[in-house]
Structure 1
Amino acid sequence: MEQASSTFKKRNYKPAIIMITIVINGLVALLAGLPGVENFDAFDVTILPMLNAIFNSFTFLFLLIAFIAIIRKNVTWHRRFIYAAFITTTLFLVTYVAHHFLSQSTPYGGEGFLAAFYYFILITHIVLAAIIVPLALTSVARAWNMENERHRKIARWTMPIWLYVSFTGVLVYIMISPYY
């Protein structure tokens, strides 16, 4: 058994993690500053935020199941549901970028406490969504390299933040959807 582990070659994923983080967060930041395509009418782009919420819902569900699986020490199911969460998060990212490229920003129309609550959720969601990119990628890279203890240390932060981001993504959609 020791011989097999000594032939395992750890890979350096850090450059890829940095590059992916810069590309994703940079693209999202760039889109936030663009006005969106005017008079886009190839399809109803208001369907995209609903797809975002659906993908975020599945991500949340997959992460919860992955968390339960690892608590039960079922690494195989944990891994499968983490991969599923990465897939739905990627699909979310595609529809998010498409929506923000193709449409203009929708202002929140609520007032008072609801507006304060919405903006608190939105701001924490945005900040933590940017942070989750390198955290999630680093977590999976450490798992791939079989750095189990280092994986556990970062996953203790990654899992709750990723759960929060996916849950609040749905909450933001529910709160702003009447204004589309």
Structure 2
Amino acid sequence: MEKEQAGSKVYLRIIYVVSLLIPLVVTFLIFFPAKFGAGSWVKTLPTVHALINSLTVVTLIAALVAIKKGNIAVHRSFMFASLFMGVLFLVSYILYHSNVSSVKFGDLNHDGMVDEIELAKAGTSRVIYLVILASHILLSILVVPFVLFAFYFALTGQITRHRKIVKYTYPVWMYVSITGVVVYFLIKPYYI
């Protein structure tokens, strides 16, 4: 029993550390891109991110359908696929932001600034974009520990706790995945 509790504490600490490190690393790289010189191919990664987010939506829906039908094995497979997509997205996102400066919505001349003329041309679409982006970013940070706890509870047989947490985690994860695609299509015209 003591070994089991000690093991649980280790996993819980890992969840907390990972949940804290991810937003810190991403934030640092956005404000201080490292420019590792990965090449111009890195600029194609936002399209890959949209594809990964789209596939995550599909795997999350498939997992929900599977569990509603009582097929735990298929549900588990699709949830691991969703988690894999999340990890793949994160690695790709870090690679992108460690090599490319952030694109600003409305920056038509690609100088890294949105001047008065560009701001006027963007109009209310910029506000809509920023609201969607802000909710996407905030919820993507908040959902990480809950996703990890949901997996932990499922893998350790704590199904009641798993069910309670996924009632809130699943729709947030779905929202983050969908808005990731929406954000991509909204800002796509401003990529070089």
TM-score (norm 1): 0.89
Q: Does the alignment pair 1:93 with 2:108?
A: no
Q: Give the conservation status (yes or no) of the 8 Å contact 2:30–2:101.
A: no
1:116 to 122, 127, 136: 127
Question: Structure 2: any 5+ residue segments left out of the alignment?
Answer: 107-120
Q: Which residue identity is paired with 1:154?
A: I
> What is the Cα deviation at residue 150 of structure 1?
0.6
Q: Tell me the C-alpha RMSD between the 2 structures.
A: 1.8
In the alignment, what sits opposite 1:66?
A: 63
Asked whether the equivalents of residues 36 and 102 of structure 1 are also in contact (C-alpha less than 8 Å), the reply is: yes
Partner of 2:170: 159
Partners of 1:142 and 1:29 in 2: CA distance: 29
Q: CA deviation at 1:44?
A: 2.8
Describe the SS at the equivalent of 1:146. Answer: coil
Three-state SS of the structure 2 residue aligned to 1:73 is coil
Q: Distance in 1 between matches of 2:38 and 2:66?
A: 44
Match in the other structure for 2:12: 14
Q: Is the 8 A contact 2:16 2:145 kept in 1?
A: yes
- Matched to 1:164, the amino acid is Y
Higher relative contact order (CA 8 A, sep 6+): 1
Q: Is residue 17–residue 138 contact of structure 1 (8 Å, CA) maintained in 2?
A: yes
Amino acid of the structure 2 residue aligned with 1:60: V
Per-residue deviation at 1:36? Answer: 5.2
CA distance in 1, matches of 2:100, 2:54: 23
Distance 1:25 1:107, change over 3 A: same
Task: Report the alpha carbon displacement of residue 35 of structure 1 after superposing the two structures with TM.
Answer: 4.5
Q: Give a deviation string over 1:63-103, Cα, whole Å, max 9, x none.
A: 01101111111111110000000111111111111111101
Poorly superposed stretches of 4+, deviation over 6 Å: none
- Provide the rounded CA distance (Å) in 2 between the counterparts of 1:20 and 1:41: 25
| Alpha-carbon shift at residue 28 of structure 1 (Å) | 1.1
Q: Secondary structure at the match of 1:104?
A: coil
2-structure distance, mates of 1:67, 1:41: 38
What is the one-letter code of the residue matched to 2:132? I
Q: Counterparts in 2 of 1:111-150, with a 5 A limit? A: 111-150=122-161
TM-score, normalising length: structure 2? 0.84
| Aligned residue runs from structure 1 range 46-85, under 5 A | 46-85=43-82
Answer whether contact 1:35 1:104 (CA < 8 A) is retained: yes
2:153, 2:42 → 1: CA distance? 38
User: Number of residue pairs matched?
Assistant: 172
Q: Is this contact kept in 1: 2:63–2:74, CA < 8 A?
A: yes
What CA distance in whole angstroms lies between the structure 2 residues aligned with 1:18 and 1:42?
34
Q: In the alignment, what sits opposite 1:43? A: 40
Q: State the match for 1:3 in structure 2.
A: none
**What is the identity percentage for the equivalent residue pairs of Structure 1 and Structure 2?**
35
Contiguous gaps of at least 5 residues in structure 1: 1-5
